[in-house]
């Protein structure tokens, strides 16, 4: 089934007219949220590194992974210059909140703000979860096909983010995906690397003096939280942009006509996860106007859906819906405009 629909009958001006009242800075609330989430993360990491009970260590590590993701969401808004009142404050708090996820601020700004938000769902412009065509998949070596199957299995979202996005696009500066480099990337790379070294060293020290052991502490308070963060962010980005009724494009003219930069994402009703992750699942309004911050997104999205009923995808996500979409969305036939399973 061709999932590409007729272009929506609105203009960019129409959209911004609806959303502009919700463009506000939230410096005080944002600052308090940073303090809250950093404090919770610190406590969780301490318990993960110092408690001799394996169960509490693992639970603390899982909680730490959640708060790394929450801080990343705050950093994400700050990097869009949407949360605090000045650019300097946004840059400071953006870097601070990106530290636990080891995300270099400037490379995230290039890859996310420019490439993803400028060309979402256009292959060649947007690289995040961009699907291959059936022929491209068949041309891959066997090992790469197996990796693609893992990524799109429903269980490989963390591996996808860790390898394809964080490692190749955000962290390793020598890889070609990192270019063009903006001024300040070297600083941000060194910043997150020094933070990682200090994080590992401090956790190992706490583990040794508490009797837990350095390696056990590093697993529970560094490796486990970092893996949890990768799974959560990989899952969130996947459900935003991959579904059996969300089209992708490889032709810029078709993409522009469809206004997919505005309509190529979904508003996900998954209330518990959305609450835990600072409204990150309220996504179409954010893609239309990235200057909307996490506090104002729900009201902005509601206004958008009221003004343009039926235009923006909204679905109440369940695990059955998620895995049904995963089974259907393996490769995309760009000529026919439809998702397909992996060809054999």
* Tens digit of pLDDT at every position of the chain (344 positions): 566 666 677 778 888 899 999 998 889 999 999 999 999 999 999 999 998 788 999 999 999 999 999 999 999 999 999 999 999 999 999 999 999 999 999 989 988 888 899 899 999 999 999 999 999 999 999 999 999 999 999 999 999 999 999 998 888 755 444 455 556 788 899 999 999 999 999 999 999 999 999 999 999 999 999 999 999 999 999 999 999 889 999 999 999 888 888 888 889 999 999 999 999 999 999 999 999 999 999 999 999 999 988 888 888 888 999 999 999 999 999 999 999 999 98
Distance separating alpha carbons of residues 205 and 186, to the nearest angstrom: 28
Q: What span, in angstroms and rounded, lies between the C-alpha atoms of 156 and 142?
A: 17
Instruction: Specify whether the CB–CB gap between 48 and 57 falls below 8 A.
Output: yes
Sorted by where each begins, the domain ranges of the chain are 23-340
Q: For residues 248 and 265, give the distance between their C-alpha atoms in angstroms, rounded to a whole number.
A: 10
With CA atoms as reference, report the closest residue to 122 among 312, 313, 251, 288: 251
Is the Cβ–Cβ distance between 315 and 269 less than 8 Å? yes
Q: What is the spatial distance between Cα 211 and Cα 217, in angstroms, rounded to a whole number?
A: 10
Question: What is the Cα–Cα distance from 200 to 202, expressed in whole angstroms?
Answer: 6
Answer yes or no: pTM beyond 0.85. Answer: yes
Partnered with residue 332 across adjacent β-strands are: 339
CA-wise closest residue to 77 among 271, 290, 219:
290
Strands 266-269 and 313-316: parallel
């Amino acid at each position: 089934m061709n999932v590409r629909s007729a272009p929506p009958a609105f203009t960019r001006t129409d959209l911004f007219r609806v959303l502009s009242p919700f463009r506000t800075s939230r410096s005080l609330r944002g600052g308090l949220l940073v303090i809250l989430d950093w404090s919770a993360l610190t406590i969780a990491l301490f318990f993960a590194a110092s408690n001799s009970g394996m169960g509490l260590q693992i639970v603390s590590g899982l909680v730490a992974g959640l708060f790394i993701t929450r801080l990343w969401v705050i950093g994400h808004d700050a990097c869009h210059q949407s949360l605090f009142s000045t650019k300097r404050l946004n840059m400071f708090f953006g870097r601070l909140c990106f530290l636990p996820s080891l995300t270099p601020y400037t490379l995230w700004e290039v890859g996310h703000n420019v490439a993803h938000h400028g060309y979402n769902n256009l292959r060649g412009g947007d690289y995040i979860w961009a699907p291959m065509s059936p022929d491209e998949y068949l041309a891959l070596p066997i090992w790469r096909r197996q990796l693609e199957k893992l990524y799109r299995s429903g269980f490989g979202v963390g591996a996808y983010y860790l390898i394809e996005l964080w490692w190749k696009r955000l962290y390793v500066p020598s890889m070609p995906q990192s270019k063009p480099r903006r001024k300040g990337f070297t600083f941000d790379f060194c910043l997150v690397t020094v933070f990682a070294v200090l994080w590992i060293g401090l956790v190992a020290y706490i583990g040794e003096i508490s009797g837990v052991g350095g390696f056990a502490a590093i697993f529970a308070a560094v490796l486990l939280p970092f893996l949890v963060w990768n799974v959560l962010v990989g899952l969130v980005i996947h459900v935003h942009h991959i579904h059996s009724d969300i089209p992708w494009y490889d032709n810029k003219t078709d993409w522009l006509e469809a206004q997919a930069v505005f309509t190529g994402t979904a508003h996900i009703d998954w209330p518990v996860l959305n609450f835990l992750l600072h409204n990150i699942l309220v996504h179409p309004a954010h893609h239309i106007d990235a200057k909307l911050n996490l506090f104002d997104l729900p009201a902005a999205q509601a206004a958008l859906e009221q003004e343009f009923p039926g235009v923006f995808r909204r679905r109440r996500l369940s695990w059955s819906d998620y895995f049904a979409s995963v089974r259907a969305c393996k490769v995309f036939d760009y000529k026919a405009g439809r998702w397909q399973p992996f060809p054999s």
